[in-house]
Amino acid sequence: MSRAVQIDQNGGPEQMKIVDVQVGEPGPGQIRIRHKAVGLNFIDVYQRTGLYQLPMPLKLGMEGSGIVEAVGEGVTHLRPGDRAAYASQPPGSYCDVRVMPAMNVCKLPDAIDFDTGAAMMLKGLTAQYLLRRTSPQGGLKAGDYVLFHAAAGGVGLIACQWARALGLQLIGTAGSDAKCALAKEHGATHVINYAKEDFKERVKEITGGKGVKVVYDSVGKDTWEKSLDCLQPLGLMASFGNASGPVPPFAPGILGTKGSLYVTRQTLFSHITSRENTQAMADDLFAAVTGGQVKIRIDQRFPLEQVQDAHRALEARKTTGSTILTL
């Protein structure tokens, strides 16, 4: 038996209940993993509220770390006893033990502890595909300006550090002076408190009126219009989240008048559709962490029993860095 967090209908944090579930043996292509820690992400909120519609009842959680207990037929990259971590479909990581697909589960290097492993996979792989695989025309090179919203969050702090290692001039936005200071401390070249300043005007000022090559935006509705105005001609708007709500429909013609802009809506799970891609991206992330270029900051820890409080803190934007659930 295992504890698991489940919802029976979409709604607020109060919909999450801890239930006891039977855990069986892994089938072909599956593993059974006993978690040591579990990651908390905004995608969990989207699934809970119904912004991302999934069948009910629904078990939540997309990220975790732990010990592999058993492997099914055809699984060759993992063995019982391996330390492992993952960001993976389907949801269900908010639990003690689970059976799950093995494809996106990676061996965790000995130099990375379980808490860090649980905190880094979804957010770290997201930063990896954004900075390394989601590029504007002509690519990114040292010295280029990029704008990164929510720079003090879990993905943002990783991206700040990774961008610095790549020589990029990352302009980070956040909603308070303290969060801006945190982003700056982690490698942002410039920071903008959007609660006090017009980030569009500040970006123009910082870049001498030229704008940025790419905007990485997980905020959505509240930042969309001004973000387009921050881009250079032929720049790329890379949307990867909806923290303030989904972007409303827009006329494609505005992309032409604003400089023949490119727009993409990215999700991690489009990038990790194969074992090979998952491992290559994870290896890049592991190397950045073990090499010291990226440090994973865990600022909040909640026991599984306090999962409702964890979601409330995340939605109220009271968190910085990564948040994990402890077991």
Q: pLDDT tens-digit profile of 13-51?
A: 999 999 999 999 999 999 999 999 999 999 999 999 999
Where exactly are the structural domains of the chain? Answer: 2-123+271-326, 135-265
For the whole model, what pTM was predicted?
A: 0.94
Output the 3-class SS for 132-160.
HHCCCCCCCCCCCEEEECCCCEHHHHHHH
Over residues 255-313, the pLDDT tens digits come to 999 999 999 999 999 999 999 999 999 999 999 999 999 999 999 999 999 999 999 99
Answer whether the bond into residue 248 is a cis peptide, omega within 30°: no
- Dist. CA 281–CA 124, nearest whole Å: 9
Closest alpha carbon to 289 in 91, 169, 125: 125
Closest alpha carbon to 70 in 39, 28, 112: 28
Amino acid symbol at 56:
M
Note the CATH architecture for domain 135-265.
3-Layer(aba) Sandwich (3.40)
Q: Do 2-123+271-326 and 135-265 come out as alike in CATH topology?
A: no
- Dist. CA 36–CA 301, nearest whole Å: 13
Classify domain 2-123+271-326 at the CATH topology level: Quinone Oxidoreductase; Chain A, domain 1 (3.90.180)
